[in-house]
Amino acid sequence: MAALVKGQAWPGSRPLLEVVGTLRPGRHRFSLVVVDSSGRRSAPDIVIVDVRPAVPADLSASPTPAPGRR
């Protein structure tokens, strides 16, 4: 599968992109422009992806109150 490099054309011909590794938390903007065999370009299709930081497993569970406290 082709690698996606910021600011460079992606040479793929299938509408499938696999993200390997991780995207850092924050807002990421992806833009797709299709070029046909005669060089005609489509209007860009843009999608915004918001990546949130992961919550550690021990913080996602309900807290257990300390003994003698409510």
Write the pLDDT tens digit of every residue in 1-30.
556 677 777 777 776 666 667 788 999 888
- 28: Cβ contacts below 8 Å, ≥ 6 apart: 48, 49, 50, 51
pTM assigned to the model: 0.53
Q: What percent of the chain has a predicted confidence (pLDDT) above 90?
A: 16
pLDDT at 26: 92
Confidence band for 63, pLDDT divided at 50, 70 and 90: low
> What is d(CA 45, CA 38) in angstroms, rounded to the nearest whole number?
20
Q: How far is CA 59 from CA 14, 23, 47, 53, 55, in A?
A: 40, 22, 31, 13, 7
Compute the average pLDDT of residues 43-50: 90
